[in-house]
Amino acid sequence: MRSISVLLALAASLTSVSASTFNNDFIPAGASVQVARSDSLLPRKPREKDNWGNAVAHDRKKITIRASKNDTDDISDEFLWALKKANNGGLVHLKKNHKYVIGKKLDLSFLKDVYVNIDGELKYTNDIKYWQANNFYYPFQKSITFTVWGGKDVKIYSDSGTGVINGNGQAWWDGFSGAEILDPNNVFYRPILFLTDNATNIEISGLHLKDSPCWTTFLVRTKNVIFDNIYIDAVSTNASSLPKNTDGFDSLNVDGLTVTNTRVNVGDDCFSPKPNTTNIFVKNLWCNGTHGVSMGSIGQYPGVKDYISNAWIENVTLLNGQNGARLKAWAGPDVGYGYIDNVTYKDIIIENTDAPVVLDQCYFNINETTCAKYPSKVNITNVNFINISGSSSGKNGRVVADLTCSPGATCDGIHLENINITSPAGSPPQIVCENITGDIGVDCIPASEADD
């Protein structure tokens, strides 16, 4: 009995290790390292495994760091230290009711088999001068970001559901004076809140992604990324400087993108995979005030082939937006080419939305004359719209679906089924179709016969 008591006491003493006693390693002030249950001297139980065959949270070494004292108390160095300490099997915990301020750009592309439990708030500073001079730049649509997350087997989550990643976007929206990212004269670059690059097996769950200066998420050269139970919003406190380009989800060169059980309240695309994204699954998504659940845009850059393929979008609610279910491809004299193939929108509710179902192959801001002269070269094939219901805003008269395909590309295998969308402009609602090969499954009219 005495030997068991000694073992228990010894195990307890090893559970929380102070900066002065942990193997003579340097530990920042206010940080701690807690050994994993399986590393203690207690009898071992069979170890659970996560989706990737690695240890679950309670079997991991846990690292904590001090919280920030105020919004200028930068703990970037401590956070980086914690992630390096937790790499290869550990866990970093940011505690509930505490704020952790990041004021330096962080390259986290080295991560491997690490959990990051954000129960508190991870908040970026709004030092515009610093971030515009110190960031990670991506040529695609002149994107910049605060932090690059990368590596393999990375889980970022909130156990308590209280975790926040805050982009502190208000100062950026106040400062950019309406210059959107696609404006060729824009030099006021705004950071993306959450970006992955060269990453495999990334899970993000239970978090509030708040007030991104620009896109909320951007997944680049990433394989198998999952978002679940996420809330995204970008809400200005200044009516004269509304958020712009604050998309919920964007991607580039991604294989395996899943979004489930998520709410998005932003003023741009709710969900918008971009070039070379495949194997997409979306279910139980709610979007308010957005530009829709869009495939694309693709075909932007001259001579470059883009594609989006294998997308399943199910049980989505789109409210008070500009677009609902949308596909978009570039047209003009200096653009690329490619295809969108095998996309299904199923069980979609759309209310008070300008263009509930739309195929836009005259993107971006191309007038009819230029679009006709230089039509899009993006093929659209095997696209299904099934069980789509709700109402338009009436902005486009009685038109509730506009499927105007490019004369410069193939448009085949487009199928609509059980479409029940009304318009306050009157009835019956109208569905426009142009340049589509074959029967689309419902009655449609050419654009020349539609309401203005």
CA distance 152 to 51: 13
Question: What is the residue-wise DSSP string for 161-192?
Answer: S--EEE--THHHHHHSTT--TT-TT-----EE
- Contact present, 153 and 201 (Cβ < 8 Å): yes
Question: What is the residue-wise DSSP string for 36-77?
Answer: -GGGSSSPP-PPPB-TTSSB-GGGSEEEE-PPPSSTT-B-HH
Considering only CA atoms, which of 338, 331, 249 is closest in space to residue 294? 249
CA distance 262 to 124: 23
Considering only CA atoms, which of 247, 257, 435, 415 is closest in space to residue 343? 415
**Residue 291 falls in the annotated catalytic set:** yes
Please name the residues in contact with 270: beta carbons below 8 A apart, sequence gap of 6 or more. 247, 248, 249, 264, 285, 287, 290, 291, 292, 293, 318, 321
Structure tokens at 330: 């570039």
Structure tokens at 137: 């730049």
Please name the residues in contact with 27: beta carbons below 8 A apart, sequence gap of 6 or more. 18, 19, 33
- Contact present, 402 and 430 (Cβ < 8 Å): no
CA distance 276 to 8: 55
**Residue 93 falls in the annotated catalytic set:** no
Gap between the terminal Cα atoms of the chain: 87
Q: What φ, ψ does residue 45 adopt, rounded to 5°? A: -105, 160
Considering only CA atoms, which of 380, 323, 384, 383 is closest in space to residue 357? 323
CA distance 175 to 393: 31
Catalytic residue among 119, 208, 291, 354: 291
Catalytic residue among 250, 268, 360, 402: 268
Other CB atoms closer than 10 Å to residue 97's CB: what's the count?
A: 10
What is the set of active-site residues?
Answer: 268, 291
